[in-house]
Amino acid sequence: MAANQLPAIRHVLPLTTVLLERKLPAPGTVTVRVREKVQPSDVVAEVQPPAKHYFLDLAAGLGIAEAQVGRYLRVEPGVPIEMGQVIAGPVGIARRTMRAPANGRVLTLSRGRALFEALEEPYQIHAGVPGVVVASDGISALTIETTGALVEGTWGNGRRGWGVMRVIGQGPSDRLHTTQLDVNLRGAVLLAGVCDNAAPLHQATELAVRGLILGSITAELIPIALRMVYPILLTEGFGTAPMNRFTYDLLNSNAGREASLEATLREPYSRQLPEVIIPLPASPRLSSPERAIQLAPGVRVRCMRAPHAGTVGTIRHLNPKAESFPSGILARSALVELEGTGPVSIPLSNLEVLG
């Protein structure tokens, strides 16, 4: 029973080995080697952003036939050149030349024209966590291994940050207010309850916070959250559901430590989840988080949907037959011992494993 349900798994682990993938948006250079130790601010990979290309009409500019252009070319295709450097010429009595409009390189010739690529400042990726590089393809992706606490979230605003984690508010269901945000929190990663208005998000920007970890925000705040320059990570979703107690307690117990926020904006079929990593020393080699855990008695689960959204419990047993719920929906279910509520039947589709 239930072998045909492979539930989502959300890792909330006090100490584990975390493998963090860093990937460039396009092939470039990985600047660190395998087995090299890195610090959060280290540049680990860089790439030239998509270059701008120009056709330089050499034939017209020099007043020669297309077929003659190769004869007057003064640079090797593919070799970097500086702005103002002569590309082709001189030609004739007037000693006409064509010069590079920017730092870049000539790529190829086509119908008497040179395809010129202008180069810009490289795009860099930082390690984000202290750790050791354990894999690299040399051109676009590397994996950093670190040990520590791991909390996977449900939504992120696409930003990344690093700082000392500070707790604000009275608990996981406490609403975030501007009055809770003062100058002492400048540069910190903040752990709070829920947010249902824009003012605290804007105030956090003014305080230059390094990140915000919340249970929920109301969905109307999504466009604002996406505009914030600091990372925002949600553990539950949208609305006013408090952060589940299990996650809150784990994060709260690490207050004062440095935390890395990977508030990844989830795309369908993306392998990267939004996550909080709190690096912690660990002497023996720890195992990595399980990739998949089947629903079974004794497994800790989190309920994703109302009326028990965000509540954590333990599966008592899997019901052998489909069950009808108050909405009239018929679904396979499990009897879950919910913390603070007691045993409740919940559709298997509404459960995710807290691994």
Partner 1 sequence: MSTILETDTLLAVDVGSVNTRATLFDVVDGRYRMVATGRASSTAGSPLFDVREGMHMAVDELSAVTGRPLLDEAGSLILPMTTEGAGIDAFVATASAGPRPRTVLVGLMPGVSMESARRLASSTYLNVVEEIGLLDRRREEEQIDILVAAQPDLVLMVGGTDGGASASVLRMIETVGLAVSLLSTAQRPSLVFAGNRALGAAVSEYFQDRAPVTIVPNIRPSLELEEFEPARLKLSEVIRQLRAGKIGGFEDLAAWSGGSMMLTADAFGRVVRYLSQVYDPDKGVLGIDIGASHVTVAAAFDGNLNLRVNSDLGLGTSMPGLMRYASIEDISRWLPGDETPGRVRDYLYNKALYPGSLPTELGDLHIEYALVRELIRAGIALSRGDWQKGAETPLLPALEPIIASGGAIARAPRPGYAALTLLDAIQPKGITTLVVDPHNLIPAVGAAAGLLPMITVQVLESGSFVSLGTAVSPVGHARQGRPVMRVRVEPEGGGEMSEGVVRFGQVVLLPLRAGEHARLTLRPESGFDVGFGGQGKAGALRVAGGALGVIIDARGRPLELSNDPAERQELNLKWLKDVGALK
Residues that bind partner 1 (CB under 8 A): 3-9, 25-27, 50-55, 107-108, 110, 115, 117, 139, 154-155, 218-220, 222, 237-239, 266, 268-271, 273, 291-292, 304-307, 325-331, 346-347, 349-350
- Residue 207 or 222: the one with the smaller Cβ distance to partner 1 is 222
CB of 277 to partner 1, least distance (A): 18
CA 31 to chain centre: 20
Q: Measured between alpha carbons, how far is 2 from 24 in angstroms, rounded to an integer?
A: 39
- Residue 208 or 219: the one with the smaller Cβ distance to partner 1 is 219
Q: Measured between alpha carbons, how far is 347 from 349 in angstroms, rounded to an integer?
A: 5
- Residue 103 or 349: the one with the smaller Cβ distance to partner 1 is 349
CB of 219 to partner 1, least distance (A): 4
Q: Measured between alpha carbons, how far is 208 from 158 in angstroms, rounded to an integer?
A: 17
Q: Output the CA angle 259-265-266, nearest 5 degrees.
A: 115
Q: Using an 8 Å Cβ cutoff, are 309 and 301 in contact?
A: no
Task: Quote the DSSP letter at residue 63.
Answer: T
- Residue 115 or 335: the one with the smaller Cβ distance to partner 1 is 115
CB of 108 to partner 1, least distance (A): 7
- Residue 245 or 266: the one with the smaller Cβ distance to partner 1 is 266
CB of 133 to partner 1, least distance (A): 21
CB of 274 to partner 1, least distance (A): 11
Q: Using an 8 Å Cβ cutoff, are 100 and 85 in contact?
A: yes
* Burial of residue 33, with CB atoms counted within 10 A of its CB: 0-12 exposed, 13-18 middle, 19 or more buried: exposed
Q: Measured between alpha carbons, how far is 75 from 116 in angstroms, rounded to an integer?
A: 11
- Residue 93 or 269: the one with the smaller Cβ distance to partner 1 is 269
CB of 294 to partner 1, least distance (A): 10
The closest of 184, 187, 177 to 214, measured between CA atoms, is 177
